[in-house]
A and B are shown apart, each in its own frame.
Chain A
């Protein structure tokens, strides 16, 4: 683990200067707010999946969201970059603020704002979703060249840098079909990093992996967290959360029940629901 983090790019100094007006109990290294959700609600038909989520994630902060399936954690993540259109509330990513407005969801202006959020928030999926018809390198330079307008040379340089971060430089010309699940997810991380986003959103990134392949992906993620990458991770990996998180958020029934530093939330939860949920993991 330690040898990997030495290869990581400098994504910002770790003990950052404290921003003005911060709460005193925030960790020293975090900066300004990058992601903010305000009163976020999501209905599927009559069913309320998110019941008013107010979440702030600061620069260089690694936030892990835990909770049983159906608690709304994945929906929250997908609402942040509008893969699900929230029903009520607002999302702000790196200063781009979009109000939920299902009635105007198809309007050009709204779509363009959403795209601005997506450019700033990289997303990792449970089943990787690499483009199977493109090589690893092509996967990584596609969006930077065509969305950001980065030159091909610059995009290739970037892609190679981030492929090295995930330890897959030698696979740059392979096609996804020839990679293991763990390698696919690491390429997906390199692809997301190649956009140089302000925050990475991980949606259960190891849930589709064979147990022996989970470690290599978590190692990369932990390295990124320690290097100061802002990230929001929906996960079931409690050990990983304990190691890599600055803050753990416990969700149930579409609301944030409790949040705090991992040692506090995972060791001494304050709420009954959190205790009940964590009890299942104690004897693992």
Chain B
């Protein structure tokens, strides 16, 4: 009898603990959301109360600035593809036993990582014409972003290739595969899986860095915002719109990237 009531008491106690934990999790979420709402709401209210925010300008030019988001995404998607291709070759070269190939690749990585992205962008668009190499603004922007991110991603891919278990390479070699097949059919497909979350991460970072190509008059988000802002003396509103769009874009892509990462983490080994 006594043990039974003890057991009952214990299960009731455990149930109470469980409920208390659930309550505390819920209240954390509520307070977290409230904090955001209050802070963002306060910021909006503070701006509105100055009386300096011109809503009709936002109405009139908002869609035009927003239109730049399409070009921003196009720039980033194209650049991440080229950067990935560059990075694969870069990584293979960085792991090569051939001193010339290895040297070329590490010079590329060192050069790109050692100079500011904005210098690379301006160099391709404004300096190369002096050597009679003329590249239109959008391709120049894509080139600069691809070149820059390709170098950073070279190191990511190198780590990814090295993360593939050495037994995989040995098994492929033992089946008589020549080196290029070992890499292409066995090591790379597994390395790509390992680095996909990191590529997603870089893509989100690139969305923000792509604003830099506004300096060579690529009519993306920031360029449009600055342009109409200056013309109408409404830089505050224009930049607010641009910043908001960048923010939303990164939130959306981060969401997808996190889900992708989650799926990859579940793995298929």
Q: Which residue numbers of A lie inside 8 Å of B, CB to CB? A: 81, 83, 106, 111, 115-116, 118-119, 121-123, 125, 127, 129-133, 142-143, 146-148, 175-177, 191-192, 195
Interface string of B144-166 (1 = CB under 8 A from A): 00000000000000000000010
A143 touches B167 (CB 8 A): no
Measured between beta carbons, the chain A residues less than 8 angstroms from B269 are 132, 176-177
Indicate if the CB atoms of A146 and B173 lie closer than 8 Å: no
For the complex, is B236 an interface residue (Cβ under 8 Å from A)? Answer: no
Contact of A129 among B97, B167, B268 (CB under 8 A): B167
List the A residue with the shortest CB-CB distance to B192: A133
B141: min CB distance to chain A, Å: 35
Which interface residue of A127, A130, A132 has the most chain B CB atoms within 10 A? Answer: A132
Contact check, A119 vs B176: say whether CB atoms are below 8 A apart.
yes
Q: How many A-B residue pairs have CB under 8 A?
A: 66
Q: Is the CB of B190 within 8 A of A195?
A: no
**How far, in whole Å, are A143 and B171 apart by their CA atoms in the complex?**
11
> Complex: how many Å from CA A118 to CA B176?
5
Tell me if B170 counts as interface (CB < 8 A to partner A). Answer: yes
Known A132-B190, A133-B189: A142·B175 in contact at CB below 8 Å: yes
Interface residue tally on B, bucketed by range: 20 to 34
Q: How far is the CB of B139 from chain A (nearest CB, A)?
A: 35
> Which DSSP category, helix, strand, loop or mixed, fits chain B's interface?
helix
Query: Do residues B181 and A83 form an inter-chain contact, with CB atoms below 8 A?
Result: no
Q: Within 8 Å CB of B185, what residues of A? A: 142, 146
The 5 A-B residue pairs whose C-beta atoms are closest, nearest first, are: A129-B171, A123-B174, A143-B175, A119-B176, A129-B167
Given contacts A129-B167, A146-B181, A177-B268, contact A118 B174 (CB under 8 A): yes
Listed by A's residue number, 13 A-B pairs whose Cβ atoms lie within 8 Å are A83-B173, A111-B179, A123-B170, A127-B167, A130-B171, A143-B172, A143-B176, A143-B177, A147-B175, A175-B268, A177-B267, A177-B269, A195-B176
Shortest CB-to-CB span from A146 to chain B, Å, is 6
Chain B min CB distance to A199 (Å): 12
Distance of A148 Cα from B190 Cα, bound (Å): 23
Q: Does B186 make an interface contact (CB < 8 A)?
A: yes
Smallest beta-carbon distance B265→chain A, Å: 14
Determine the residue in chain B with the shortest Cβ distance to A131: B186
How long is the Cα–Cα vector from A142 to B193 in the complex, in angstroms? Answer: 20
| A residues in contact with B172, CB < 8 Å | 131, 143
In the assembly, what is the distance between CA of A123 and CA of B190, in Å?
Answer: 21
With A147-B181, A195-B176 known, 10 other A-B pairs at CB within 8 A are: A83-B174, A115-B178, A116-B176, A118-B175, A123-B170, A127-B167, A133-B268, A143-B176, A146-B185, A195-B175
